[in-house]
Amino acid sequence: MFRLLGLLGGLAAVTDLGTGAAADESLARAVVASRLARALGGDAEAVRDVVYVSLLEHVGCTAYSVELAAALGDDVVATRAFLQADLSTRETLATLVPALASATGRSRLGVTAAVLRHSAALDRGGPAATCEVARTAARRLGLPGPVLDALAHTTASWDGSGVPAVAGAAIPYATRLAHVAAIATLFALLDSRDRATAEVRRRAGKTLDPELAAVCLERADEVLDGIGEVDAYELLLDVEPDPVRLVDPARLEQVARVFGDMVDLKSPWLHGHSSAVADLAAAAGRRAGLGQDALGRLRCAGHLHDIGRAGVSSRVWNKPGPLSASERDQARLHPYHGERIVARVAALAPVAPLVGRHHEHLDGSGYPRGALATDLSIEARVLAAADAYRTLLEGRPHEPPHSATEAADRVRAEVRAGRLDGDAVEAVLAAAGHPGAGRRPRPAGLSPRQVEVLRLVAAGLSNKEIGRRLVISPRTAEHHVQDVYSRIEVATRAGAALFAMEHGLFGGPRDDGSQPGQGDPAAGRDPRRAR
């Protein structure tokens, strides 16, 4: 069994990315909310509910990303500015305009005109979409009714000026408490404790419940103690009252899917992409002979592989023309951000390397690390092939959808270029229903795992290092190595490397005739492309 709060506490970092927040702001907000709830005399259930409400307060942050980016140029920057400003038009403009002008390169006059032109639509559509997505996500995560109701009011205001149009005590208690914690945490991390208390005091009676704000001000030293100075993840796990909420391993994929679907809202072109990659990668992995544990990792990795997209403006993902150098650099970092988020969750740690490597190539021309074939497991290769194939079928703003036949031809061309793994591609195509596709015969009857061991041996890894890479014991790794040596009739690392090269088990030459490691042909390649 896994702690639900442990899973959500790690994955909630996606919402920090999507709102341009300080690192761990969502975790710190939930801790502050729990302390405030206790200071107000709340029972265990009230504390538990407000922890989840505060943690997931911005889980709907991608709901209106497309519209916000289209109107103002950068949804992440705009969201951060809206959260920092109060509801007055004057302050919103003072906060929003310089931030957007700096992020987009537009003039302040142009940004001001865009804000005023679109303000009515944004005021109506954004909050409604945010609340709806937040409530739906909470329902799919199995959270109780009070949490769902509170998240459905996350953009309401004490004075009735928010959405939905309710005021005062008609707003759920957990929502009102989370709002106070949110302002206190945001400005404590952004500036200082004095700034945090000043902002809570200024908003009391307007956006914030004045009684809850008064308690926060009175107990500020207590509720903000250590915020921004100690590990917020550990603090969060300590504040959940007993009994803690648990989920069984079978629910792990459902949690991953919720976050994958949420991030797929960043672009209409991405809708359903993550779940489709998860299904296809798992089906391909089964055809490649992977075991149940590996298939479970593949499914979760498929759902989570693109969660790092949340931190990049929807303007980039929806841009019909070529990306600028800056935009390309932002896009190429999304696997790195995704890996960092997933790695923090102990139950998902084995999935993190797959998330971080889904755009890597066998020849080292991928991103973000330029990893080589020896760094890419069979699972990583299958995930990369599934992602590439699905992207081609779906199309992107700069590239129309391809037919299944065209997509198959394109990914096979990537194999010939030495970027995608041939076995992984054939397994993906077979799983997708292409006639004649299937696992290619391997030299010496090697299994996928044995090919992986052979590559690691050829790279000079010790049995201990191989075991660590494959999550097996050194003794088991030694047995695998000896079996491979016996099958291919060699006894040295050099002999193993020559066998692998002779039979094409490493990345081959590129289309331009260069060899792996020469230059970086991916440097100018659009990271939104399949490959």
Helix (H) or strand (E) holding 276: helix 273-287
Say whether pLDDT at 486 is over 90. Answer: no
DSSP per-residue string spanning 139-203: HHTT--HHHHHHHTTTT--TTS-SSSS--GGGS-HHHHHHHHHHHHHHHHHHT-HHHHHHHHHHH
What percent of the chain clears pLDDT 90, i.e. is strictly above it?
A: 68
Helix (H) or strand (E) holding 113: helix 108-140
pLDDT digits (tens, 9 = 90+) for 99-123: 888 888 888 888 888 888 888 888 8
Q: Give the per-residue pLDDT at 440.
A: 67
Angle between helices 252-263 and 292-304 in degrees, nearest 10? 30
Q: Give the per-residue pLDDT at 511.
A: 31
Q: Give the per-residue pLDDT at 246.
A: 92
pLDDT class for 498, splitting at 50, 70, 90?
confident
Over range 16-36, report the average pLDDT. 95
pLDDT class for 439, splitting at 50, 70, 90?
low
| DSSP H helices in 417-473 | 422-431, 448-458, 463-470
Say whether pLDDT at 349 is over 90. Answer: yes
Dihedral angle of Cα 430, 431, 435, 441, to the nearest 10 degrees: 20
Over range 25-39, report the average pLDDT. 97
Say whether pLDDT at 348 is over 60. Answer: yes
Say whether pLDDT at 52 is over 90. Answer: yes
What percent of the chain clears pLDDT 70, i.e. is strictly above it?
A: 94
- Cβ proximity of 75 and 312 under 8 Å: no
Stronger pLDDT, 366 or 520, i.e. the higher one: 366
pLDDT digits (tens, 9 = 90+) for 242-290: 999 998 888 999 999 999 999 999 999 999 999 999 999 999 999 988 8
Half-sphere exposure of 67 (CA within 13 A, CB side): 17
Q: Give the per-residue pLDDT at 221.
A: 94
Cα 196 off chain centre by:
29
Over range 139-164, report the average pLDDT. 95
Q: Give the per-residue pLDDT at 455.
A: 87
Query: How confident is the prediction for the chain on average, in pLDDT?
Result: 89
User: What is this structure's pTM?
Assistant: 0.85
Q: Give the per-residue pLDDT at 512.
A: 32
Q: Is 467 left (phi over 0), alpha (psi -120 to 50) or beta?
A: alpha
Q: Give the per-residue pLDDT at 523.
A: 46
Say whether pLDDT at 428 is over 90. Answer: yes
pLDDT class for 500, splitting at 50, 70, 90?
confident
Output the CA–CA distances (angstroms, integers) from residue 168 to 153, 172, 209, 241, in the order listed: 12, 9, 7, 27
Kindly report each contact of residues 459-467 with a partner whose C-beta sits within 8 Å and lies 24 or more positions away, as own/partner: 459/374, 460/493, 461/374
Over range 451-472, report the average pLDDT. 88
pLDDT digits (tens, 9 = 90+) for 180-203: 999 999 999 999 999 999 999 999
Over range 420-440, report the average pLDDT. 88
Say whether pLDDT at 335 is over 80. Answer: yes
The helix/strand/coil state of 44 is helix
pLDDT class for 531, splitting at 50, 70, 90?
low
**How far apart (Å, rounded) are the C-alpha atoms in residues 521 and 512?**
9
pLDDT class for 514, splitting at 50, 70, 90?
very low
Over range 66-92, report the average pLDDT. 85
Q: Give the per-residue pLDDT at 525.
A: 62
